[in-house]
Amino acid sequence: MAYQSFNPATGKLLKQFEEISDQQLEAKLAAAAACYATWRHKTYAERAAIVDKAAALMRDRAEELAHTMTLEMGKRIDEARGEVAFSADILAYYAKNAERFLANEELHPKLGEGHVESSPIGVVFGVEPWNFPYYQLARVAGPHLMAGNVLVIKHAGCVPQCAIAFEKLWIDAGAPAGLYTNLLISHEQSNRVVDDPRIKGVAVTGSVAAGRSLAARAGQNLKPSSMELGGSDAFIVLDDADLEHTIKWAVWGRMYNTGQTCCAAKRFIVVEALADKFLEKFKAALEALKAGDPLDEKTTLGPLSTESALIDLLKQVDTAVSHGAKVIMGGKRVDRPGSFMQPTILTDVKPGNPAFRDEFFGPVAMFFRVKDEDEAIALANDSDFGLGGSVFTKDVARGKRVASLIDTGMMFINNINWSDAELPFGGIKNSGYGRELGDMGIQAFVNKKLVRYAVTDAPS
> Structural domains in the chain?
3-229+431-451 (3.40.605.10), 233-413 (3.40.309.10)
- What is the average pLDDT value for the chain, to the nearest integer? 97
263 among known catalytic residues: no
DSSP 8-state secondary structure symbol assigned to residue 318: H
Q: Determine the Cα–Cα distance for residues 239 and 7; give it in Å rounded to an integer.
A: 43
Share of the chain above pLDDT 70, in %: 100
In the predicted model, what is the mean pLDDT of residues 377-397?
98
In the predicted model, what is the mean pLDDT of residues 369-390?
98
**Order of strands across the sheet that contains 105-107:** 105-107, 113-120, 446-453
pLDDT score recorded for residue 331: 98
Parallel/antiparallel/unpaired status of strands 105-107 and 113-120: antiparallel
In the predicted model, what is the mean pLDDT of residues 18-45?
98
Report how many helices (DSSP H) and strands (DSSP E) the chain contains, helices first: 14, 20
pLDDT score recorded for residue 255: 98
Residues in CB range of 130: below 8 A, 6 or more apart: 73, 155, 156, 157, 158, 159, 305
CA atoms within 13 A on the CB side of 305: 21
Q: Exposure string (b/e) for 270-285, b if CB count within 10 Å is 16 or more?
A: bbeebbeebbebbbeb
Instruction: List the Cα angle 52/54/57 in 5-degree steps.
Output: 110
pTM greater than the 0.95 cutoff: yes
In the predicted model, what is the mean pLDDT of residues 300-315?
98
Distance of CA 366 to the CA centre of its chain: 21
Active-site choice (262, 263, 373, 436) = 262
Contact status, residue 116 vs residue 104, Cβ threshold 8 Å: yes
* Identity at 168, one-letter amino acid code: K
Q: 103-148: per-residue pLDDT in tens? A: 999 999 999 999 999 999 999 999 999 999 999 999 999 999 999 9
* Identity at 205, one-letter amino acid code: T
In the predicted model, what is the mean pLDDT of residues 226-233?
97
Residues in CB range of 203: below 8 A, 6 or more apart: 124, 125, 126, 127, 140, 144, 225, 226, 444, 445
Residues in CB range of 176: below 8 A, 6 or more apart: 35, 38, 39
Q: 417-443: per-residue pLDDT in tens? A: 999 999 999 999 999 999 999 999 999
Length of the chain: 460
pLDDT category, 2, cuts 50, 70, 90?
confident
The answer on pLDDT for 212 being more than 90 is yes
Q: Determine the Cα–Cα distance for residues 203 and 190; give it in Å rounded to an integer.
A: 12
Q: Determine the Cα–Cα distance for residues 363 and 231; give it in Å rounded to an integer.
A: 14
- Cα separation of the two ends of the chain: 69
pLDDT score recorded for residue 460: 87
pLDDT score recorded for residue 1: 58
Q: Which of 96, 156, 164 is nearest to 422 (CA)?
A: 96
The answer on pLDDT for 320 being more than 70 is yes
In the predicted model, what is the mean pLDDT of residues 309-330?
98
Please report the beta strands in 105-215, taking only residues with DSSP state E, as ranges in sequence order: 105-107, 113-120, 123-127, 150-154, 180-182, 199-205
Active-site choice (72, 228, 359, 436) = 228
In the predicted model, what is the mean pLDDT of residues 251-268?
98
Instruction: List the Cα angle 157/254/81 in 5-degree steps.
Output: 55
pLDDT category, 90, cuts 50, 70, 90?
very high
Please report the beta strands in 128-239, taking only residues with DSSP state E, as ranges in sequence order: 150-154, 180-182, 199-205, 225-228, 233-237
DSSP 8-state secondary structure symbol assigned to residue 27: H
228 among known catalytic residues: yes
pLDDT score recorded for residue 178: 98
The answer on pLDDT for 57 being more than 70 is yes
